[in-house]
Amino acid sequence: MDPLKQQFYEKSQALAKEVKGLLKAHGDKKVDDVALDQLYGGMRDITSMIWEPSLLDAEEGIRFRGYSIPELREKLPRAPNGQEPLPEGLFWLMLVGDIPTQEQVKWLTEDWVRRANVPEHVFRAIDALPVETHPMTKFSVGIMAMQNTSVFAQHYTMGMKKSEYWDATYEDTMNLIARLPRLAAYIFRRLYHQGEQVLPDISLDWGGNFAHMLGFEDEGFREYMRLFLTIHADHEGGNGSAHTTHLVGSMLSDPYLSLSAGMNALSGPLHGLANQEVLRWILKMVDTLGTSKPSREQIADYVKSTLASGQVIPGYGHAVLRKPDPRFIAQRQFAEANTPDSDLVQIVWKIFDVVPPILSSLGKVKNPWPNVDAHSGSILLHYGLKEYNYYTVIFGVSRALGVLAAQCWSRALGMPLERPKSVTTAWVKEHLVKEYGVVAAH
Ligand SMILES: CC(C)(COP(=O)(O)OP(=O)(O)OC[C@H]1O[C@@H](n2cnc3c(N)ncnc32)[C@H](O)[C@@H]1OP(=O)(O)O)[C@@H](O)C(=O)NCCC(=O)NCCS
């Protein structure tokens, strides 16, 4: 057994035993109450699932196995001469709960290199799609096209025991993550570089090699890629991509089927597509105002006109967070150190000054602060990655780390299929009368 798998096996067996005990002693204890608002309100805040890799606090932001983003930037292993964390280290942490050593991360990088071969038919499946098909659709199709190589699906057909599910899931997870940068880079180069592919450089780390295959040799871009791929990896279990991957996986659909579904959720403009929308919105503002150095007043007027036309301000607001997203702050710090003179970065900072008071003044927005998507586009563009339709694919490559680590945990803990209860409005009215004597409003 490989060293990461061995550690995961030991830790997950121990936790599975502990959970059994917890359920035996406290299985009937209440952890939440649910109000009618929450049924009609997108199930917001209902504590209803277990997700081991990370936990989100509305005020403080995300913690991965107890570590905040500033702590990860300080403690996770880095590339030689690098300043930013290696995403390999975060994956290790999410899977076993410990910050890995430099040697452990080196092993993981090399293991993913060994697993990185993408079958030829996957590229042909992408080639069969019209070239203008959205990159996220191609990414999802590419993941689906690899499904025929799923260890989980093959072993399941051969009669795999439930106690072995975690092992096959781990193998699929490692193979999939290893292959995703190659798949994603293929999509990019086919769409924007007439299909001229850049072959992998196996001396590089996972994120560095992804940047290289996209066609970027700038060390600053590689560093940003490592940071980007680390901070976008997970945001507890209830968000669209995580929850979708979890739900589909709970039917024992293998990691390829589950991840592809999760990527379709990420493709929504209220979720991962927001990073492309942010840049599109800013570029349109620059175009409309006729300047790449707009004043705060000009930006404020533009924000108000966007709102007046019934659209949301992309990159602002969050379903859970109630403070500026630490993932935004981390990117801002990166930009302060590496790209402070970029006009677009300057605009992002001015938007940060201008938008929160305007959104707050509407009186309905629960969180007026920037989220993760508010900053990424400006930095990617600074390094020359201007094709913003592609940005969500990079988010997807990162998000695979968290949702697949979580699927390993779900299999190891023997999680059952997810099947919440739904009701009709007629049921709601009857319930209100029966429980509270309330006559439903007309
Ligand atoms: C992220 C988001 C979907 C969260 O939705 P939510 O949990 O329903 O947010 P709220 O409870 O604060 O929404 C209450 C109201 O404020 C509005 N609102 C929230 N964020 C807004 C924004 N950035 N711009 C304008 N209006 C916003 C909502 O549309 C809603 O209006 P409605 O009652 O007229 O439908 C939402 O903030 C949004 O659409 N943001 C822009 C897209 C984005 O950046 N997505 C990436 C998320 S990581």
Q: Is the CB of 392 under 6 A from ligand 1?
A: no
Could you tell me the distance, in angstroms and rounded to a whole number, from the CA of residue 440 to the centre of ligand 1? 28
Closest residue by CA, ligand 1 atom 41: 314
Q: Does the pLDDT value for residue 258 go beyond 80? A: yes
Task: Please give the average per-residue pLDDT across 192-208, as a whole number.
Answer: 97
- When pLDDT is cut at 50, 70 and 90, the band that residue 428 belongs to is very high
* pTM for the full predicted model: 0.96
Tokens 């952890």 locate to: 31
pLDDT for the residue numbered 439? 77
Q: How far is 262 from 250, CA to CA, in rounded Å?
A: 13
CA 287 to chain centre: 30
Q: By alpha-carbon position, which residue is closest to atom 1 of ligand 1?
A: 318
Residue 408 contacts residue 237 (beta carbons within 8 Å): no
Give pLDDT, residue 75.
Answer: 98
Report how far residue 61's alpha carbon sits from residue 240's, in angstroms, rounded to the nearest whole number: 17
Statement: residue 442 has pLDDT above 70: no
Tens-digit pLDDT profile for residues 212-256: 999 999 999 999 999 999 999 999 999 999 999 999 999 999 999
CA of 318 to the centre of ligand 1 (A): 7
CA of 102 to the centre of ligand 1 (A): 41
First-to-last C-alpha distance (Å) of the chain: 63
Tokens 């490592």 -> residue = 226
Query: Catalytic residue at 318?
Result: yes
Residue identified by tokens 């781990």 is 170
Region 175-199: mean pLDDT is: 97
Compute, in angstroms, the gap from residue 373 CA to the centroid of ligand 1.
Answer: 13
- What local confidence, expressed as pLDDT, does residue 417 receive? 97
Kindly compute the dihedral angle of the four CA atoms of residues 308, 309, 310, 315, in this order, to the nearest 10 degrees: -90
Give the pairing type, strands 54-57 and 61-64: antiparallel
Q: Tell me the CA–centroid distance for residue 225 and ligand 1, in Å.
A: 27
State yes or no: is 33 an active-site residue.
no
Q: What is the DSSP string of 316-337?
A: B--SS--S--HHHHHHHHHHHH
Using the predicted structure, report yes or no on whether residue 283 has a pLDDT greater than 70. Answer: yes
Which tokens go with 329?
């702050």
Provide the pLDDT confidence category of residue 441 given band limits of 50, 70 and 90. Answer: confident
Strand blocks (E) in 58-195? 61-64, 67-68
Site to substitute for ligand 1 among 366, 369, 373, 399, most atoms within 8 A of C-beta: 366
CB of 43 closer than 6 angstroms to any ligand 1 atom: no
Listed range (378-387, 404-413, 433-442) with the worst mean pLDDT: 433-442
Closest CA to 235 of 389, 94, 376: 94
Tell me what pLDDT residue 438 has.
84
Tell the residue nearest (CA) to atom 7 of ligand 1.
319
CA 416 to chain centre: 23
Give per-residue pLDDT as tens, 362-375: 999 999 999 999 99
Long-range contacts of 67-76 (CB under 8 A, 24+ apart): 67/93, 67/99, 68/326, 69/231, 69/326, 69/327, 69/329, 69/330, 70/326, 70/330, 72/230, 73/227, 73/330, 75/99, 76/100, 76/230
Question: Which pLDDT band, with edges at 50, 70 and 90, does 17 fall under?
Answer: very high
For residue 312 and ligand 1, the question of a CB distance below 6 A is answered with yes
- Measured from the Cα of 366, ligand 1's closest atom is 12
Ligand 1 atom index nearest CA of 311: 25
Q: Which of 243, 271, 375, 382 is catalytic?
A: 271
Could you give the CA distance from residue 408 to residue 53 in angstroms, rounded to a whole number?
10
| Residue pLDDT, tens place only, 107-158 | 999 999 999 999 999 999 999 999 999 999 999 999 999 999 999 999 999 9
Say if residues 375 and 332 touch (Cβ distance below 8 Å).
yes
C-alpha closest to that of 327 among 86, 68, 94, 44: 68
Does the beta carbon of 316 sit less than 6 angstroms from any atom of ligand 1? Answer: yes
